[in-house]
Structure 1
């Protein structure tokens, strides 16, 4: 059994993750969704974007890449938040 070849394009690599990140933030601002469900919302958005736009003719590839898009957005947000929090707590000055 051969594994399927899944190709990504510039849309998936550069645009899908920021779109998922921005739309997830908008959903957080508009609704009062509990914070513990935000990663699930991002994953669902990633899957929807992947299945209906970037991999619309290949459902397995769309599902597979959609999980990457959603989880990459969550990881990007978590990394930025951690870095910003650490920067704010540090008292290091660069003279």
Structure 2
């Protein structure tokens, strides 16, 4: 995993979710694909998806429960998990988590 994205456009306005518990910026690549780069502050949240997503954890540790699952999985820096389109996942963080969300 590279530490940076080169030759991209960044949307200046931030995406703020859950009263500021999650903040991200959209990054647009030359081919038109999009990712979001952000942080989730310590919290317990539920995210809904439209497109399929791969959540890449860059820093911190979180517990995740995908829609329909009963078990929680732990993810740390260097790991990722996939979420189906039109689905959801619960995430619990006890420290700030840095992430990249890959859409599609």
TM-score range, shorter chain: under 0.3
- Structure 2 length normalisation: TM-score? 0.21
Which is higher, the Rg of structure 1 or of structure 2? Answer: 1
Q: Which one has the bigger strand percentage?
A: 2
TM (norm. structure 1) is 0.22
More helix by share: 1
